Amino acid sequence: MLKTLMMTLVAGSLFFLGACSSQCVDGDCNCVDGETCSFVCTGAACSQNCGAGSDCTASCEVGNCSQQCNTGASCNFSCEGGGCNQNCLASDMCTATCSGGSCIGTIPDI
């Protein structure tokens, strides 16, 4: 039984070493409306979506990610590899930083 538990813990740990963490499936990360989430994408081309009214932090370490902040959400986006599409148009509580260049940013007029 202990051996089975240890194997399950190891397998679970390996799962979280994938491209994204926290509520992510195949590189698509979705923060449910009203929840608090933190996403870290270490692989290319992740999709990070912060639902309406959520408190969301999303970082993309390799680049080419899509980061979406929905209505009333508080979002903090960072893209380290460049080439990200960072959309803050639906919320005035959104910040987005990009290093590596070639990011497309949509920030509301405040």
| Residue 91 CB coordination number (10 Å) | 22
pLDDT band at 22 (very low <50, low <70, confident <90, very high): low
Q: Is residue 1 part of a domain?
A: no
Q: Is residue 76 part of a domain?
A: yes
Phi then psi for residue 72, to 5 deg, are 75, 5
For residue 5, pLDDT over 60 is answered with: no
Q: Is residue 12 part of a domain?
A: no
pTM of the model: 0.76
Q: Is residue 4 part of a domain?
A: no
Q: Is residue 8 part of a domain?
A: no
81 vs 12, more confident: 81
**What's the chain's average pLDDT?**
79
**What pLDDT digit, counting tens, does each position of 51-94 carry?**
999 999 999 999 999 999 999 999 999 999 899 999 998 999 99
Distance from C-alpha of 32 to C-alpha of 45, rounded to nearest angstrom: 20
